[in-house]
Each structure stands twice: as structure tokens, then as C-alpha cells.
Amino acid sequence: MGFPDQIVRTVELAHPPQKVWAALTTAEGLGSWFGNTATIDLRPGGAARMTWNEGGHVANMRVERVEEATVFGYTWPIYGLPDDDPRRTYVEFTLEPVGAGTRLTVVETGFAQLSDDAYKEAFEGNVGGWKSELGELVEYLDAA
């Protein structure tokens, strides 16, 4: 493919891994910074769902990887594709203790499976989305 298959973002958080983990893996956490409401069955194969009030967007996710306070991964629909499209990207959060805080790395992969037009919308949408959402995560953690 002639374009990147993944988005990688790293952010330094002034909070311990357990606090960051709770923000990433609980319905309360996800529904506070990522979406407006969330549900999650935190086990590989478990279902998760997030909704956003703005635009009525819904993301049905499947939990793929759970390593307590270290790695959390899920698959979810690709932005811009029809709701019934079976293709998904994989999102993985890796938490690394750094001093009293946490280095959080988010990697989303799976964009190479898309056509040029679908790729442009999904990749660019998610690049901007992760920038915005990770900013909201920082605000949520700092306020808690």
C-alpha cells in the first residue's frame, strides 16, 4: 500500500497507570472522556459500546486484549464506512509507568484494507479524532 496502515499517538500523563487504566476500561471512564455513554464487558471477546450525543454516533466494539493496567485492545468500526461493513480497525492502548505518571501509547491499525477514498476519510478522521479524544482524556484525568 502507498499509505500508512496505522496511527500512533503517545501522551505523557501525570497520573498512575491504575487511574489511567480505569479511565480506559470502565463504562464510567469511557463514557466521561471518549463518548457520552459506554458499556463494557472487560474480557477478550467481550462487547463494548460507546455512544455520542452529537450526531447520534454509536460504536460497537469487541474487546480483544486485556492485560491489567498494561495493555487494552479492541476492534471497532471504521469511520466513514456503512454500519453493516464488517471491516474493523484494531486499537491498542499500552500503559507504561514513568516516574509517578504514565506514558500512554495508542496504536490503531488496519487502514491498509481500505480503498483510497475510504482510507482518506477514515485515516484523516481518526488522526484528528485521536488528537481530540486524548486531549479530553487528559482533561478528564486532571479533573478527577
- Alpha carbon distance 66, 82 (integer Å): 28
Answer whether 65's CB lies under 8 Å from 72's CB: yes
Nearest to 72 by CA among 21, 111, 12: 21
Burial of 86 (0-12, 13-18, 19+ CB in 10 A): exposed
**Res. 59: pLDDT tops 60:** yes
pLDDT of residue 144: 76
Q: What is the pLDDT of residues 91-104, one digit of tens each?
A: 999 999 999 999 99
Residue 99: count of CB within 10 angstroms of its CB: 9
Q: What is the pLDDT of residues 110-128, one digit of tens each?
A: 999 999 889 999 999 999 9
Q: What is the pLDDT of residues 77-89, one digit of tens each?
A: 998 899 899 999 9
Q: What is the mean pLDDT of the chain?
A: 94
Confidence tier at 1 by pLDDT (50, 70, 90):
very low
